[in-house]
Chain A
Amino acid sequence: MALPPLDSPQWQSPWRAFAWGLRSITQTILTLVLFATYLGIGALAHDSHFSLLWALCSTLFVWAGPAQIILITTLGSGATVIQSAIAVTVSAIRLFPMVVSVLPLMRTPTTKRRELFFAAHLTAVTLWVECHRFLPQVPRERRIAFVNGLGFGLVSVCLTANTVGYFLAANLTKTLGAAILLLTPLSFLFSTARNSREVADVVALALGVLLYPLAAKMNSGLDILVSGLVAGTIAYSVHWWREVRA
């Protein structure tokens, strides 16, 4: 399935754009990966004695795989609500620059902030990656509808996966469970690498991975933030230095 050309009448109705967004979930390996990741989250929730409703609400209202895994793991292992909240807050910081960088792709001069509310809520790693891939092929005035459709489709897939994983949990062997959890870092690493076109993106990704273990040794509770800020700023300096020399 290819998206219609930018000047096609297919794009005239926002509902058609929503439908094209919804159908686009079949155009990415990340949908499969999300399904597998959320299968694992459903299973993890079951094994940590959370209810199915709890797992589904976490997917619907948190909508960030790493945050959900951190939340379930910390609460499940007896951390206090405050400790979990801090860990999740830190893991969620990356959503801020993602939202900041993705919303301008959808905005027109007349767009009101409230029209972007659902797009902001739906923004997480997968949507962020896919927006950069799909949106150049979507007329600007239909991009919000398209993203809402894409996000709605992805959330539905994940809610289904949670339910299946929750009921499978009793039968999942330890090795299979580990394989499902390993899908998350592998898929996020390669999908981000694939979408890194600028040198700054590649440097940020590689340095971010390498600096995290160093930052974790400081044991500040802000490891992810420290390594992310340092690696990201170095990557930006590389970009800036190349611009100046060019």
Chain B
Amino acid sequence: MSFAQLIGDWHALFVLFVAGVVPNQIWRMLGLWFGGGIDEGSELLVWVRAVATAILAGVIAQIVVEPPGALASVPDVLRYGAVAAGLVVFLLTRRSIFAGVVAGEVFMLAGTWWLG
């Protein structure tokens, strides 16, 4: 791999700025601007936090339902099963993130191996 390959071209970096950096920073800076006058215990903030949580939940569902890259090669039943298995273990272990993640991964890897 050459040095030039590691740097890439300026066009790609420009695209990163337009399609990646600006769309993210807009929301953060709006939050910085409008967050100023809001009290942390306010009802508006309870609503805003609920919406933030639900949007994140949507991203989680999106990655499992419409998987990117290599994850798309895993059958639907294994992806959904992995989340379900992880959730059961997470709840049984009194909400251990580590146990839940490991259980989900083991389910998917074992299933992939079993299905050949």
Contacts and interface: CB of A to CB of B under 8 A. Distances in A.
- Choose among B16, B87, B95, B104 the residue with the greatest number of A CB atoms under 10 Å from its CB: B16
Nearest to B22: A85
A183 B105 contact: yes
B105 A182 contact: yes
B18 A81 contact: yes
B31 A120 contact: yes
Contacts of B64: 185
Interface in A68-89: 68-71, 73, 75, 81-82, 84-85, 88-89
B95 A193 contact: yes
Interface size, B (range)? 35 or more
A184 to B, nearest CB: 6
A6 interface: no
A245 interface: no
- Choose among B15, B19, B25 the residue with the greatest number of A CB atoms under 10 Å from its CB: B19
Contacts of B74: 178, 182
Interface in A177-215: 177-194, 196, 198, 200-201, 203-213, 215
Interface size, A (range)? 35 or more
A93 B27 contact: yes
Contacts of B5: 51
Interface in B69-91: 69-71, 73-74, 79, 82-83, 86-87, 90
A54 B16 contact: yes
A105 interface: yes
Contacts of B49: 97, 101, 200-201, 204
Contact of A113 (B24, B26, B32, B56): B32
B86 to A, nearest CB: 5
B53 A104 contact: no
Interface in B5-22: 5-9, 12-13, 15-22
Given A100-B35, A104-B40, A228 B55 contact: yes
A168 interface: no
A3 interface: no
Interface stretch (A9-17, A19-27, A59-67, A148-156): A59-67
B32 A212 contact: no
Interface of chain A, helix or strand or loop or mixed? helix
A229 B51 contact: yes
B74 to A, nearest CB: 5
A164 interface: no
Contact of B24 (A54, A88, A187): A88
- Choose among A70, A85, A178, A201 the residue with the greatest number of B CB atoms under 10 Å from its CB: A178
B82 A99 contact: no
A88 B69 contact: no
Interface of A: 29-30, 33, 44, 47, 50-54, 57-58, 61-64, 66-71, 73, 75, 81-82, 84-85, 88-89, 91-101, 103-105, 113, 116-117, 120-121, 123, 125, 128, 174-175, 177-194, 196, 198, 200-201, 203-213, 215-216, 223-225, 227-233, 235-236, 239-240
17 contacts: A73-B68, A81-B19, A82-B19, A89-B27, A94-B56, A97-B49, A113-B33, A177-B69, A183-B105, A185-B83, A200-B50, A208-B54, A208-B57, A224-B59, A227-B61, A231-B57, A232-B52
